[in-house]
């Protein structure tokens, strides 16, 4: 394990370490796209809901989040395949292209599975952003900032969100484990040959050396991500640096 020698795969008849490295690149591309999509959509939605608390905007955001949490990733994947691949024909329904061969081709093949993964994650992050922002907007320093005549945009995005972003980052880091759990189903559904697809093939064929190596890599990625999240707290929250 320490030397990187995980042995040979029983079904692929090749060394496991190079095999995992190639599949990790494919899955990393998918995870980064999913996380980017989730954060870009969830933070504005959560802020929008918190600013318009108990109004129709809050209800619309909460309903969207509830749908995202309640429906599984493979459901969204099937819907996207039917709509965007079969009916509209805009995007491919399966396959994987190396980013080094064609970045645009890799993007097209990864878009639908990343959206299917990102919708559930977006729902969790939206609810967390809304909850954190609601508490911050009731704090005394927010009333002081408004009393000083600062614009509402500055109060919301510079002061309130800066103090509420910590719990959102924590949940985003913890959801990396959720993504690696869901990626097995989503990659198999879309025929996207990444870590999830490889792990599924190993499980189907009882390839124990490959199963052990895959689980080890996924666990290591989750642990490393949580360490990075802890370190990011110092960057986003000056109070921790001073403490």
Residue 61 backbone dihedrals phi, psi, to 5 degrees: -65, -40
pLDDT at residue 237, rounded to an integer: 65
Answer yes or no: is 205 within a domain.
no
Does residue 7 sit in helix, strand or coil? coil
How many domains are there within the chain? Answer: 1
Mean pLDDT of the residues in the chain: 84
With 60 as the cut, is the pLDDT of residue 243 above it?
no
Q: What is the pLDDT of residues 157-216, one digit of tens each?
A: 888 888 888 778 878 877 777 777 778 888 888 888 888 888 888 888 888 899 989 888
Question: What residues contact 65, with CB distance under 8 A and at least 6 apart?
Answer: 45, 123, 124, 126, 127, 130
Does residue 15 sit in helix, strand or coil? strand
Q: What is the pTM of this model?
A: 0.82
Beta-bridge partners for 8? 15
Parent domain of 68: 28-194
Answer yes or no: is 209 within a domain.
no
Q: What angle do CA 221, 225, 226 make, to 5 degrees?
A: 120
Answer yes or no: is 226 within a domain.
no
Q: What is the mean pLDDT of residues 2-17?
A: 83
Q: What is the pLDDT of residues 56-108, one digit of tens each?
A: 888 888 888 888 778 888 888 899 899 988 888 888 888 888 877 888 888 88
Answer yes or no: is 23 within a domain.
no
pLDDT at residue 146, rounded to an integer: 83
With 70 as the cut, is the pLDDT of residue 156 above it?
yes
- Cβ 61 vs Cβ 45: under 8 Å: yes
Residue 162: CATH number of its domain: 1.10.3720.10
């Amino acid at each position: 394990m320490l030397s990187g020698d995980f042995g040979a795969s029983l079904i692929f008849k090749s060394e496991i370490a190079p095999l995992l490295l190639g599949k990790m690149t494919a899955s990393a591309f998918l995870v980064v796209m999913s996380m980017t999509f989730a954060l870009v959509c969830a933070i504005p939605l959560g802020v929008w809901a918190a600013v318009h608390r108990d109004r129709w905007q809050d209800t619309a955001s909460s309903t969207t989040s509830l749908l995202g949490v309640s429906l599984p990733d493979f459901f969204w994947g099937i819907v996207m395949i039917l709509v965007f691949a079969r009916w509209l024909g805009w995007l491919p329904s399966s396959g994987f292209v190396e980013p080094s061969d064609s970045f645009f081709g890799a993007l097209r093949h990864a878009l639908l599975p990343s959206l299917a993964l990102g919708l559930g994650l977006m729902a969790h992050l939206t609810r967390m952003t809304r909850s954190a922002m609601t508490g911050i907007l009731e704090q005394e320093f927010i009333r002081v900032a408004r009393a000083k005549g600062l614009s509402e945009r500055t109060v919301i995005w510079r002061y309130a969100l800066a103090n509420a972003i910590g719990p959102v980052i924590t949940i985003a880091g913890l959801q990396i484990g959720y993504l690696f759990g869901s990626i097995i189903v989503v990659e198999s559904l879309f025929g996207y040959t990444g870590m999830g697809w490889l792990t599924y093939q190993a499980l189907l064929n009882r390839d124990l050396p490959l199963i052990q190596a895959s689980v080890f890599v996924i666990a290591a990625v989750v642990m490393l991500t949580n360490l990075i999240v802890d370190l990011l707290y110092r960057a986003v929250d000056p109070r921790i640096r001073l403490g």
